[in-house]
Amino acid sequence: MLGFAVRRIATLVPTLFVIITLSFLIIRLAPGGPFDEEQALSPAVRANLDAAYGLDQPLLTQYLRYLGGLARGDFGPSFKFRDTAVADLIAQGLPVSLTVGLAAVLLAVLTGVPLGVIAALRSNTTADHAVRTLSALGVALPSFVVGPVLALVFGLYLDWLPVAGWEAGRPRYLVLPVITLALPVMAYVARLTRTSFMEVMRSNFIRTARAKGLDEWRVLLHHGLRPALMPVVSYLGAATAFVITGSLVVETVFGLPGTGRYLVQGALNRDYTLVMGMIIVYGAITLLCNLIADLLYGWLDPRVRHD
């Protein structure tokens, strides 16, 4: 298992390096610049700004300087948020996005897996039809519809939960955005678990375990559930990264101070360093989530790590 983990980890650094290089080139070579909207700038002032931020240097020099800053943990200054480092902006919003995203994934797994197992064990019954209907609704309804509906019902009509805002250490502010993010993931998890569990329970090794007289709960949980979770683990790697990095709509609906707003603002304002910082953080989160999924996959199925 250790060798399998080392091989997977060894691929992260070159992959992240490729992401950084391609993103840097695409952003810098695209038409426009961070100061193009400043119509009142004189050529002399514009030249001074370019010199201050190193934009007057050759592209290769800018790239090497940026890599040198990254090696020191410096993402550079923001071009639009004056006197503010990109690292400070990321540090402000990332804890919120991580908290909401990871809580949503945890809720989706804790509800989706049991629902999928129940649907598989009671195939073609009322419980199965109910789970499949709930899953279809979770997939079909977008978050920009679910979020406002939940806020309207539980925030305004029932006055149980806050509609928007964020206060650290107050779980009440997490409930609605977490549920909104968790619903589509829970739906996919339930469907994958149901399909995979039904297929596993028809396998020869399950019939052999039952023929040996093993307890039914041991057959279900130990011999059946573990291989049935492999498709779920594969899906959760990408889903976790998407929930953490793609929660802009939910952050906007519920007024959360996450990182999504900085990425959009940076892209609109051509804030090179801010966009690069967000891409690097999102890329690292995506690679880390997929690494964890690969390691879990190798733990669930030893054949993967031996291959």
Q: What is the mean pLDDT of each run of 10 residues along the chain (307 residues)?
A: 67 85 83 62 68 74 85 81 81 85 89 88 84 85 82 81 75 85 89 85 74 71 75 81 76 80 77 84 84 73 55
d(CA 112, CA 182): 10
In a domain, 238, yes or no: yes
Strands (E), the chain: none
pLDDT of res. 128: 82
pTM (two decimals):
0.80
Query: Which distant-in-sequence residues (6+ apart) come within 8 Å of 292 by Cβ?
Result: 237
pLDDT of res. 32: 66
In a domain, 76, yes or no: no
Helix (H, G, I), strand (E, B) or coil at 165: coil
In a domain, 104, yes or no: yes
In the chain, how many domains are there?
1
Residue 222 domain boundaries: 86-306
User: Looking at residue 160, which CATH number applies to its domain?
Assistant: 1.10.3720.10
Query: Which distant-in-sequence residues (6+ apart) come within 8 Å of 265 by Cβ?
Result: 80, 271, 274
In a domain, 2, yes or no: no
d(CA 71, CA 6): 22
- Written as one string, the DSSP assignment of 133-170 is HHHHHHHHS-HHHHHHHHIIIIIIIS--S-SS---TT-
pLDDT of res. 298: 67
In a domain, 13, yes or no: no
DSSP label at residue 128: H
Q: Compute CA distances 199 → 6, 117, 165, 193, 227, whole Å.
A: 32, 12, 44, 10, 10
In a domain, 26, yes or no: no
pLDDT of res. 306: 47
Query: What's the token pair of residue 17?
Result: 């390096």
pLDDT of res. 111: 92
In a domain, 258, yes or no: yes
In a domain, 167, yes or no: yes
